[in-house]
């Protein structure tokens, strides 16, 4: 896929801002060709970035959690995710999603007429995302332009110029597709709420191995427990305590594969005081017991290594 970058995990700072650079200062653009299934826990976890993002579902089906909403996109659909909007992608099977992430200043410098009239109204609006449906005739030109951007990556020395030409067309189509009423002043309340959510989630990630109460979570951002419940329900579609439990289980699943520690030890290391409760919740989330989960992934790793050795022997034979 040309110069596409492939990743298998998202790294973020304490505010869940993605730490990876998308392109360079001279050319702030990156093209990624990814399968959500290849990422840790089969999801591209919560993160945000100042750049905008366009994603196309080339194969499969995936859930896109953007801001406070969940969208199910299938093969042929696309989505625009605005600057500084927190998002997460999930899949229950292989879901191939070529995508581009770039800074709007690639299209026009700040302060210019193009930026002030056509770019800033979108990135400073309340629009968190825009869905492009394969079934909607009006969206076909946007989807085809996205596919054209993907196609020119790695095509030659002039690909940067072709890319920017297509991105300008893509942005014009996006601008024309958004109702002007959507482009009001940025919602400070929404941005503050997302920032609080990021801080609470990071507190959970840093302290999951110990006891965490709703009071503890609320105390990180000095809000009421009812406000915490509302924020988690609105943005993550779950309760804060359930988020804690599922995060612990995800950490436990990694330890089962990467270490030789016993199931009991792993349960304790990930914050579970009751081994029976740990096993029940683990099976509910993953569909198998912790022991069988370890057996399955260890077996899969061994088969993968055998295939690598087999390929090496063929090459050296």
Supply 288's token pair.
Answer: 């198998």
List beta partners, residue 63: 72, 90
pLDDT digits (tens, 9 = 90+) for 105-150: 999 999 999 999 999 999 988 888 999 999 999 999 999 999 999 9
Number of residues in the chain: 317
The pLDDT of residue 13 is: 76
Determine the Cα–Cα distance for residues 55 and 79; give it in Å rounded to an integer.
5
Domains and CATH numbers, the chain: 29-182 (2.60.120.280), 188-298 (1.10.10.60)
List beta partners, residue 102: 29, 52
Q: Among all chains, which residue has been given the structure tokens 């800033």?
A: 120
**Residue segments in the chain with a per-residue pLDDT below the cut of 70:** 1-8, 14, 156-158, 179-191, 301-317
For the chain, helix, strand, coil in percent to 5 are: 50, 15, 30
The pLDDT of residue 301 is: 63
pLDDT digits (tens, 9 = 90+) for 220-251: 999 999 999 999 988 888 899 999 999 999 99
The pLDDT of residue 199 is: 86
Give Cα separations from 266 to 125, 208, 251, 258, 285 (angstroms).
45, 13, 9, 11, 16
Determine the Cα–Cα distance for residues 21 and 34; give it in Å rounded to an integer.
17
Determine the Cα–Cα distance for residues 133 and 311; give it in Å rounded to an integer.
42
Residue 235, SS3 per DSSP: helix
């Amino acid at each position: 896929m040309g110069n596409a970058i492939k990743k298998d995990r998202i790294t973020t700072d304490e505010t869940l801002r993605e730490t990876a650079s998308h392109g360079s200062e001279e050319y702030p653009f990156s093209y990624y060709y990814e399968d959500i299934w290849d990422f840790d826990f089969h999801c591209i976890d919560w993160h945000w970035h100042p750049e905008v993002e366009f994603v196309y579902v080339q194969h499969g089906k995936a859930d896109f959690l953007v801001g406070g909403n969940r969208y199910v996109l299938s093969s042929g659909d696309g989505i625009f995710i605005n600057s500084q909007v927190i998002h997460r992608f999930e899949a229950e099977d292989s879901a191939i999603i070529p995508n581009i992430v770039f800074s709007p200043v690639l299209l026009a410098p700040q302060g210019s007429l193009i930026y002030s009239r056509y770019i800033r109204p979108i990135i400073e609006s309340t629009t968190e995302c825009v869905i492009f449906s394969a079934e909607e005739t009006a969206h076909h030109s946007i989807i085809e332009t996205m596919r054209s951007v993907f196609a020119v990556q790695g095509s030659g020395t002039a690909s940067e110029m072709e890319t920017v030409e297509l991105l300008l067309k893509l942005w014009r189509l996006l601008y024309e597709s958004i109702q002007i009423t959507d482009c009001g002043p940025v919602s400070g309340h929404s941005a503050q709420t997302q920032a609080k959510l990021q801080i609470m989630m990071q507190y959970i990630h840093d302290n999951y191995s110990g006891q965490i109460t709703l009071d503890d979570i609320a105390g990180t951002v000095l809000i009421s427990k009812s406000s915490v419940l509302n924020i988690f329900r609105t943005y993550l579609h779950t309760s804060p305590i359930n988020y804690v439990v599922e995060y612990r289980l995800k950490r436990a699943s990694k330890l089962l594969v990467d270490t030789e520690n016993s199931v009991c030890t792993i349960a304790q290391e990930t914050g579970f005081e009751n081994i029976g409760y740990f096993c029940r919740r683990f099976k509910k989330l993953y569909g198998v017991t912790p022991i069988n989960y370890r057996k399955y992934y260890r077996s899969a790793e061994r088969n993968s290594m055998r295939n690598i050795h087999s390929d090496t022997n063929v090459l050296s034979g």
